[in-house]
Chain A
Amino acid sequence: MKLFGLSAKDTRFLIIVILLTMFTPILLQPFPEGSALATFNAGYPDLMQRIAIFGIFAIGFNILFGLTGYLSFGHAAFLGIGSYTVVWMYKLLDYNVIWGLPLAVITSGLFALLIGYVSLRRSGIYFSILTLAFAQMSYNLAYSVLTPITNGETGLQVYPSDAQVLMGATEPTSPHLFGIVLRENFWQPTIGGWQFTFNNGYYFTAIIAIVLFYLSLRIFRSPFGLMLRAIKTNQTRLNYTGINTRPYTLAAFVISGMYAGLAGGLMAAMDPLSGAERMQWTASGEVVLMVILGGAGTLMGPVLGAGFIKYLENIFSKINDSILHGWFGALPDGLENFIIGVSHFFVGKSWHLTSGLMFMLVVIFLPGGLVEGGARIRNLFRRGKSPKGADTAHPPAPVANAAEKEEF
């Protein structure tokens, strides 16, 4: 089957992604309520929505970093701009996200055009530093000089005195899409011991994420995507082949900036606030980690990376002493205290250590990220199944090699 101009293989892939996204509220809720492992359930709206939003951020970032190899350390600036734009639309018009989100794409796109135009005059580490400098400048401006626009330290939010000229008398007073309130759940069934939550905001974000994933898939398969990959490999050859690489990198930069802006806008759709800290360099660094952890330049990698980091952040940071005692209570006291003492380094406030270790392990042993890990496991199974000697019967064709690297 072929859909939307995709090959049969890509269509299958897209359908799997759609199914996974649609069933996430069930898939991330594998443990019954009240069981010892229920802490590891992640099927609650706030976390799922955060994963989808950072997934969008990472998918966009991957179009720049994964394809062209240009490593931006300033993409959080676009995240912040998207958020501010959406909150401003709440203040001026009303809480319907339909005004703010498209505008967030436009404003962040324009900013990306400006920042990209200047930063892309350099490559390598100088490019990274330039983007970092721009983002820190934006952060500082948002904090101080631009207080009338950003509300400085307090952060931008909606006040009763705001104009909200489109606000109807019966309209919801939190972000909504034509009356569908995003923070509300539309279905909360309890089946056996399991509890599932189906939330408006999650599905709204998830559908946008799927559309953006599809667009990135199209970009990967397009002549434009081919040029971007060529830039990463050998910019010199491209120039001597008559290609002007600058507009290509700039287009990739702007597209990834727009993805970031939309992600920032969606954060403000979850929670009608925006603060300068959203633009800080740590946020820029986070998306770099996500893409590398998942697998830069692959389609699925950024989403996996975003999911993993957000999961660790939310679940591991939640594990406190009483939960630990609950797990290890049956052990002899000395051992229990020892295990809990060691665990302290990895859970609760120290979850960063866990994510840091994971990141190091992946970069050292799986330079292709989690996606490469997945591919290796798949190959193991395949090899296990194939009859003995099959590997030597066919020469280890580099052809197969090339095809494999193309994987998602």
Chain B
Amino acid sequence: MGILEVKGVSKRFGGLQALNDVNLSVKENTVHAIIGPNGAGKSTLLNCFVGKLIPDSGSVMFNGQSVLGRKPHEINQMGIARVFQTPEIFTDLTVMENVMISCFARRDGSFRLHPFETVMHEKDIIEQAEQMLIDVNMIDKREMHAASLSRGDKRRLEMAMCLAQEPKLLLLDEPTAGMARADTNNTIDLLKEIKQKRDITMAIIEHDMHVVFSLAERITVLAQGTPLVEDTPDNIKGHPKVKEAYLGESA
């Protein structure tokens, strides 16, 4: 039994079958990559995990509980955090405030009325957020407005926000897209380090094969809404079906 069990998930958009009977099992404490050509339905699949979309049929179980029909904030509080394909951050707030919100959400839950406490006096939260920013190498940017960050930094910030929540399952939708090579390598190192430090499961969508093969323990190949194969990275590399669906199209 995996921490995330996806059974028979299908989703239609008008005439387009975006997901077609997807079965997927993500084992606890592993990094599971989902790869496939553009438009394969990878992001759509993640949307079904976090409450953004409800599939037409099938089930999605996290830790033995169904996530379907739950609101995004409830699913997050169950322990699933997500980095989006286009960074979702609080652009009007500072980098530090962005991360602090995650820390507050982890400590205080989905709602807490605290109008007369003071952010400045929350020593623990400040410490956690600062540590997180040190981990992602962004501490020097703590007072910057998130809007003024580079694309790669926005992505890193979003990752820091998700990691600050200490989720059980982290969903990453192309976390290194738009990053320079050095930043991509830093991100790989960061994710490896996090993985060593604590119990965390990751499902990662990525086009950059260097990232995929550096991190993934299992790989699922998705094409036209259907999983073609699921196997170890070594076996995937030489798989004829993968070459045909994935490399064949891009080559």
Contact = CB atoms under 8 A, between A and B. Distances in A.
Say whether A and B bind each other: yes
Given A5-B118, A221-B118, A234-B91, A239 B144 contact: no
Given A230-B97, A242-B76, 9 more contacts: A5-B121, A221-B119, A229-B97, A240-B81, A241-B102, A243-B73, A243-B105, A244-B111, A251-B115
Interface residues of B, number: 44
A234 B89 contact: yes
B89 A237 contact: yes
B105 A242 contact: yes
A243 B148 CA distance: 25
Interface string A227-249: 10110111011111111110110
A399 to B, nearest CB: 5
Interface of A: 5, 7, 215, 218-219, 221-227, 229-230, 232-234, 236-245, 247-248, 251, 255, 398-399, 401-403, 405
Main secondary structure of the interface of A (DSSP, over half): helix
12 contacts: A5-B116, A5-B118, A221-B119, A226-B93, A239-B71, A239-B72, A240-B82, A243-B101, A243-B105, A243-B110, A244-B71, A405-B145
Nearest to A239: B72
A378 B109 CA distance: 41
B143 interface: yes
Given A230-B101, A402-B145, A403-B143, A223 B92 contact: no
B91 A233 contact: yes
Interface string B142-157: 0111001000000000
Contacts of B189: none
Quick one: which of A223, A229, A247, A402 has the most chain B CB within 10 A?
A: A223
B184 interface: no
B93 A229 contact: yes
B124 interface: no
A310 to B, nearest CB: 28
A237 B88 contact: yes
B122 interface: yes
B115 A398 contact: no
A405 B148 CA distance: 13
A28 B130 CA distance: 47
A221 B120 contact: yes
B103 to A, nearest CB: 10
Interface in B81-115: 81-82, 84, 88-94, 97, 100-102, 104-106, 108-115
Nearest to B161: A241
Q: Top 8 A-B pairs ranked by shortest CB distance?
A: A242-B76, A244-B110, A237-B88, A233-B90, A239-B72, A233-B92, A242-B105, A224-B115
A375 to B, nearest CB: 16
B26 interface: no
A225 B115 contact: yes
Contacts of A230: 90, 93, 97, 101
Nearest to B109: A242
Quick one: which of A222, A225, A232, A241 has the most chain B CB within 10 A?
A: A241
B101 A241 contact: yes
A5 B110 CA distance: 26
Given A398-B145, A399-B144, A240 B50 contact: yes
B165 interface: yes
B117 A222 contact: yes
Contact of B117 (A223, A241, A399): A223
A278 B71 CA distance: 40
Given A221-B118, A223-B122, A237-B89, A242 B143 contact: no
Contact of A402 (B77, B94, B110): B94
Quick one: which of A227, A242, A399 has the most chain B CB within 10 A?
A: A242
